[in-house]
Every structure is written in C-alpha cells, then in structure tokens.
Structure 1
Amino acid sequence: MVTTWIIDPTHSEIGFRVKHLMISTVKGQFRRFLATATTEGDVWENASLHFEAEVDSIETGVEQRDGHLKSEDFFHASAYPTLRFVSTAFRAKSEDTYEVVGNLTIRDVTLPVTLKAIYGGAMTDFYGQTKAGFEISGNISRKEFNLKWDAVTEAGGVVVSDDVKLVLDVQMTKQAV
C-alpha cells in the first residue's frame, strides 16, 4: 500500500551553511517550502521524495545579505523563484541511515546530488498523527548551479566559499488513507 507523507513546516527547517572569508560560517534557511514523500507502507527504503522551496523566502538574519542572495549575483529570485529536489533513489545504508540521490534544480541548472538522511524514528503525536523525522545533509558546489558571484580580499582570500553544506531537519506527517 502506497503511503503519502507531507512535510510539517512548523517542525522542519531547510537550511544551508557556507564559509565566509574561510574563517567563519554563515547560516541561512528557506522559510517557505513544500515536500511530499511516498513510501510502501511505512518503509522508507525506495521512498520517493519531492521538495520545493521559495527562493524569495531565504533568510540569513541580515537583510542586506538576503537581498544580495535574491539578486542576479546568486539565486536571481525574480527569474527563478523556486528551487527543487526530486529523488531518484532512496537507499538504506544501515538501520537508520539512508542515501538519497536525486536531481537538484537551482536557477536554470539541474544536477544530480547525493544526500545523507538519518532517520530519527516515527511517533504518533497528541492528535493521532504519525510523524517521521529525518536529518538530511549534503554538500554542493554553488558555482555549478550558477551562483557565481565572487570576490577576493586584499590578501587574496575568498569571500564566499564554493562549497555549501545543505542541512535539513525534517518532520513528515503521514496522510490518512
């Protein structure tokens, strides 16, 4: 029996981390997103996952930086308002760890990425809804997705690293049949 799961946005965070000046880390997240997964029963092996985030909802805690990230230098939110991930494989690596392979689309570029998903388990909440939790992470090259703005300090250091760590804390809600 196919089971559908919907992300619970009030108990999920879709974030990223990137080195600034190669000495500190800037963290950010997307505030508006949707995700669905389908499983065979409650078994996550071979699950299918579809995720979208609104680029305009990016937030780093610094309004000026958020505006720059939304500009043509980075995400170009007015032309490419959504980023998307569609899984092509969801493989168990151990009892609670999965390898999630799929296609990530940012701007006008779609590339395959591999993510690690750690299953936190499932629980029934106070309302009788079954919830499943995951910590998902992986790394991408921002330049491969045309997020190419770059600057070099006077000392020759890079302002923003090419390597971006994706960090997602996700709670999925099982949908009634």
Structure 2
Amino acid sequence: MAKTKWNLDVTHSGVDFSVKHMMFATVKGGFQSFNAEIEADPTDLTTADIAFSVDLASVDTRNEDRDNHLRSADFFDVENNPTMTFKSNTIEKTDENEYNVTGDLTLHGVTKQETFAVTFEGTGIDPWGNEKAGFGAEGKIKRSDYGLTWNAPLEAGGVLVGDQIKISLQIQAAKEA
C-alpha cells in the first residue's frame, strides 16, 4: 500500500488520560475536540507523517468543577495555551503492527520529545465503500516536565494529584479519496 492521506474520523476516535488521585485512586478523563493529520502507508508506519492537536478546553472528567480547574492557570491555562500538539519525528517498527512513534509534544508552552507505543489495528471497508484504518496509541508523560506543578499536600503524606499521566488514543481514519 502506498503512503496516502488519512482523515481522522472523530466520531470513532478518542483521546483519554488517567492520573493518580490521593496516591491510591485513578481518575480518568478525555478530550472531546481533537484533530490529526496523517500521511501514511498503514501497513508500514515507519515513513508516516503524523501531527495531532487537542483542544484543551474540551477536557471532560465527568466533573464540571474539576474540568474548570483543569482549564484554569493552575493546570492547562487554556486562555494562554489552548492546544496540546504532537508532531512525529521518528517511527521505529518494534514488532508486527507495533511501532514506537517519537516526536515533539507541546503542552503549556513547553515542547519535549515523547514516545508513544502505536499499534496498527487493521483496515476495512465501511458500508458506504470508504476505506478505514484503525490505530491505538499508549504513552506516559510527567506533567511537571511541562510546568504543570499545581498540587495539594495530603494530611497522611503524599499529594493530591500524581505526576505521571497515562495517555491513550483510539484512532479511526478514512483514506482520502
């Protein structure tokens, strides 16, 4: 298959995250608004060009007060830093349909190199004749690396919000006609 452009199918895709809360529980959330630019041969991602952006104001943790706090200057500061972006630099095949995608992640005005484990899930034709491809991606970042350091100490020791953020993407894309 040749390298071609793939358009993100946002209704069949998701960007989710999880973080430790109070040192022992996990809080999950996601983003409702995001976009991707993908140019690839899905059967060999080593030559792909991948760019991803997330509208940070679209954060959804199923708790309005927490979402508003995440949008504030304590965390994302969406007024000054409305998006998180990722642009791939190198892609290494690690196994059949498995890749390490390394690139520049920009969050809160800071850009750092991060690596995500990406799985090519396959392709198929939908009922309307469109070719679709599926991908999954997993990664971890330290929020403190991006200046996201707000926290609250706990009476028993430790802190309210963990530093490590797990990120998970489920992507369905349509081959551009």
Q: How does 1:72-87 map to 2 (within 5 A)?
A: 72-87=73-88
Distance 1:54 1:94, change over 3 A: same
Distance 1:46 1:170, change over 3 A: same
Mapped to 2, the partners of 1:118 and 1:46 lie a distance apart of 15
Matched, 1:106 2:107: yes
The gaps in structure 1 that reach 5 residues or longer are none
Match of 2:20 in 1: 19
Match of 1:154 in 2: 155
Amino acid at match of 1:145: Y
Q: How does 1:74-153 map to 2 (within 5 A)?
A: 74-153=75-154
Q: How does 1:15-54 map to 2 (within 5 A)?
A: 15-40=16-41, 43-54=44-55
Count of matched residue pairs: 176
CA RMSD of aligned residues (A): 1.2
Distance 1:171 1:41, change over 3 A: closer
Mapped to 2, the partners of 1:124 and 1:157 lie a distance apart of 50
Mapped to 2, the partners of 1:47 and 1:68 lie a distance apart of 36
Tell whether the 8 Å contact from 1:48 to 1:89 is kept in structure 2 after alignment.
Answer: no
SS at match of 1:147: coil
Mapped to 2, the partners of 1:143 and 1:13 lie a distance apart of 24
Mapped to 2, the partners of 1:36 and 1:128 lie a distance apart of 22
Mapped to 1, the partners of 2:118 and 2:60 lie a distance apart of 23
Task: Output one character per residue of 1:17-68: Cα deviation in whole Å (capped at 9) or x when no partner.
Answer: 0010111111111100110111248532221100001111001000000000
The gaps in structure 2 that reach 5 residues or longer are none
> Which stretch shifts more, 66-75 or 83-92?
83-92
- After TM superposition, the score normalised by the length of structure 1 is 0.95
Identity %: 39
Mapped to 1, the partners of 2:3 and 2:122 lie a distance apart of 19
- After TM superposition, the score normalised by the length of structure 2 is 0.95
Task: Output one character per residue of 1:54-91: Cα deviation in whole Å (capped at 9) or x when no partner.
Answer: 11100100000000000000000011111100000122
Matched, 1:4 2:5: yes
| CA-CA distance at 1:110 after TM superposition | 0.3
Mapped to 2, the partners of 1:33 and 1:15 lie a distance apart of 11
> Which stretch shifts more, 21-30 or 41-50?
41-50
Tell whether the 8 Å contact from 2:103 to 2:115 is kept in structure 1 after alignment.
Answer: yes
